[in-house]
Amino acid sequence: MESAAQVPVIMVLESNVIIRTELAEVLRECGYKVIEGTTANDLWTVIDAKVRLDIVFSEVNLPGETDGFAVARRIRQTHPGIDVMLASSVEGAAEKSKDLCEEGPLKKPYRAQDVVARIRVLLERQRSATGNPK
């Protein structure tokens, strides 16, 4: 069994509580530590608390003033070691988010298995880049 320091930490930002809790449950069943949030402010609180994050999975249309695109841009600028995955049901959002997320955007509705598959790809890239067995 992996130690707590090696368990990948994923933050799920999704305003729909049903979608968020179902995805978080699947990710936990896969062995990941999951932190749930609704807004970008939830993410900044976690980051300000110096909680280690490996991946942020965010919907594009977050409630509040900061959308998923702005979240991805800020993370890239201030925390380049954190990978970002974006999801949206808005036409054209996929094209806009191509440069902001590592493995391309997910179109809503997405399957939890697709999210898990992309997370595994991102974590493998992180392991390869750092030599760290996350």
Per-residue model confidence as pLDDT tens digits over 8-50: 999 999 999 999 999 999 999 999 999 999 999 999 999 999 9
Give the three-class secondary structure for 51: coil
Contact 35, 45 (CB under 8 A): no
Looking at residue 53, which CATH number applies to its domain? 3.40.50.2300
24 located within any domain: yes
- Show the domain range for 89: 7-129
Q: Which amino acid is at 114?
A: D
Q: Structural domain tally of the chain? A: 1
1 located within any domain: no
2 located within any domain: no
Write b or e for each residue in 87-123: b if 16 or more Cβ atoms lie within 10 A of its Cβ, otherwise e.
bbeeeebbeebeebbbbebbebebebeebbebbeebb
11 located within any domain: yes
Segment 110-127, tens digit of pLDDT:
899 999 999 999 999 988
pLDDT at 15: 93
80 located within any domain: yes
